[in-house]
């Protein structure tokens, strides 16, 4: 009986950890090292948006389905009077979830062009973990992640 309870507890622990965002995990589509005034601007990364984790159950105001590990990790250095714009473009409606260096979570759905997400942040030195989500669990979509200091490009 004790063995069954221990096995059940272990499985529950595995299930719970599978749903938490692992922002320290290896990014699905790589790491980017940028500093204030970087060129070429914008920096573009091709990726597959989506996952099986409902972002709305993890973070207030977030939408879409994302993966456990971030899609991209941005390492930002330097200071800038310009804003840092993180956005995604896709033929389908996609979302953004970003964990900033300050430990805050930032989310967006349709602030970009059409149904594309876009976040404009005051740049802070440190790590940004970035997820691009879709609206159906397990669905993936081709997307381009854009990181820019330009107002428009």
Q: For residue 69, what are the domain limits?
A: 2-148
* CATH code, 98: 2.60.120
pLDDT at residue 30 is higher than 70? yes
76 lies in some domain? yes
- Length of the chain (residues): 153
Q: How far is CA 4 from the centre of its chain?
A: 38
> How would you classify residue 57: left for phi > 0, otherwise alpha for psi between -120 and 50, otherwise beta?
alpha
Confidence band of 99 (pLDDT split at 50, 70, 90): very high
Q: Per-residue pLDDT for 9 more than 80?
A: no
Determine, yes or no, domain membership for 153: no
Where do the H-state alpha helices sit in the chain? 2-19
Taking CA atoms, 148 is separated from 13, 79, 122, in Å, by 39, 14, 12
- Assess whether pLDDT exceeds 70 at residue 148: yes
Would residue 137 count as lying in a domain?
Answer: yes
Q: What is the pLDDT of residues 100-112, one digit of tens each?
A: 999 999 999 999 9
Q: Which is higher by pLDDT, 130 or 57?
A: 130
What pLDDT was estimated at residue 152? 62
Overall domain count for the chain: 1
Residue 8 in domain: yes
């Amino acid at each position: 009986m004790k063995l069954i309870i221990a096995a059940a507890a272990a499985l529950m622990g595995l299930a719970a950890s599978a749903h938490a965002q692992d922002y320290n995990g290896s990014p699905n589509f790589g790491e980017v090292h940028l500093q204030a005034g970087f060129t070429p601007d914008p920096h573009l990364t091709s990726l597959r948006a989506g996952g099986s984790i409902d972002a709305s159950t993890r973070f207030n105001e977030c939408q879409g389905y994302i993966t456990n590990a971030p899609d991209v990790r941005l390492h930002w250095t330097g200071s800038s009077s310009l804003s840092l714009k993180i956005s995604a473009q896709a033929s389908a409606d996609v979302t953004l979830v970003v964990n900033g260096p300050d430990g805050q979570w930032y989310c967006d759905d349709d602030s970009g062009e059409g149904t594309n997400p876009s976040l404009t942040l005051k740049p802070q030195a440190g790590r940004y973990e970035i997820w691009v989500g879709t609206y159906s669990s397990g669905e993936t979509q081709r997307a381009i992640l854009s990181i820019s200091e330009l107002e428009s490009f």
